[in-house]
Structure formats: structure tokens, C-alpha cells
Amino acid sequence: MIRPDIRTDWTMEEARAIHALPFADLMHRAQTLHRAHFDPNTIETASLLSIKTGGCPEDCGYCSQSAFHDTGVKATKLMETEEVLAAAQRAKASGAQRFCMGAAWRSPKDRDMDKLCDMVRGVSDLGLETCMTLGMLSPEQVARLKAAGLDFYNHNIDTSPD
């Protein structure tokens, strides 16, 4: 459900005008909006863990995780849940409020979903907010992660100029 106070009817001209603003003006607008909804002196701390590194089948020229480029990043398999939870516990002990788990792949395989959901539940049980970035998800995978208690999902949408 879209909140009524969030605009979704931007014209291309309006979007271009915002995009063309100087960076400092964009920062000021963002800070003004943030202050309208949040305590300006509170910072949320988060920790990010690569739960599956390298070997991604996508050919994003800028990404060190791509299997198409020799970047020195060694490909690893999906971590075991216990390792992830130990890292989350260390993050919490260091002051993190949110724990994000990222995997270098185009999208998770259905066979990995049980383990991913266990990770979400385990991190949530530690009292941390949960976040994942796993690439593209099917509607069924989204539903499973939501049911497991995932709080946030991050996806970098890479597209061509077209």
C-alpha cells in the first residue's frame, strides 16, 4: 500500500529538474525531509555481511563480484547459518541495530530459501532489524522472506540508458 503523503505522479520534467540540482541543494532537501519525520540527532547503525561472495553470473562491468572479471575476489558458497548468526551477534555487541546480509548472485535458488529464511529468523531473534540484498526475487521468495520476518530488502536496479 502506498502512503498518501508519498508522491508517485512525478513528471519526467520534475524528475529531471531535481536530478539537475546541485549536490548541496539535494543534501539540504534530504535533511529537511528527514528532520520532518525523524530525530535529526539519531543515527541508525548497521552491519553488512557478504553471505555469498563472488562468482555472480551477471556481467556488470563495475562490480568486483562478477565472474566475468578477474578482480581477485574469491568466490565462496553460501555461508552456514551458524556462521552468519555468530557474525550478527558480534555486530550487535559492537552496537549495530540492523544486520544486512548480501549475496553475489543474480537471484537465489529455491533450494537456498530455507537457509536464507533461517538466517532472517535467527538474526531477528537476536533483536536486530534484518536486511537482505540477494538480487532478483520471485513473488514466492518475497513472501517466504516476509513470513520469516525480513524487515528490509535492498536491490540495486541496474539498467541501460534505454
Q: How would you write 28-60 as a 3-class SS string?
A: HHHHHHHHHHCCCCCCCCEEEEEEECCCECCCC
Give the span between the Cα atoms of 71 and 81, in whole angstroms: 27
Per the CB < 8 A criterion, the answer to whether 81 and 115 are in contact is yes
The answer to whether residues 87 and 114 touch, using CB atoms and an 8 Å cutoff, is no
Tally of helices (H runs) and strands (E runs) in the chain: 5, 4
Helix (H) or strand (E) holding 102: strand 98-103
Query: What is the per-residue pLDDT across 146-159, written as a single tens digit (0 to 9) for each?
Result: 999 999 998 766 55
Coil, strand or helix at 64? coil
Q: Which domains does the chain have, with CATH numbers?
A: 6-42 (no CATH), 43-153 (3.30.750.210)
160 pLDDT higher than 60: no
CA 67, CA 106: separation in Å to the nearest integer?
11
Report which secondary-structure segment, H or E, holds 113. helix 113-125
Which tens digits make up the pLDDT trace of 47-93?
A: 999 998 766 676 766 666 666 677 777 777 899 999 999 999 999 99
| DSSP 8-state class, residue 135 | S
Confidence grade of residue 104 (pLDDT, cut at 50, 70, 90): confident
Question: What pLDDT is stored for residue 107 in this prediction?
Answer: 85
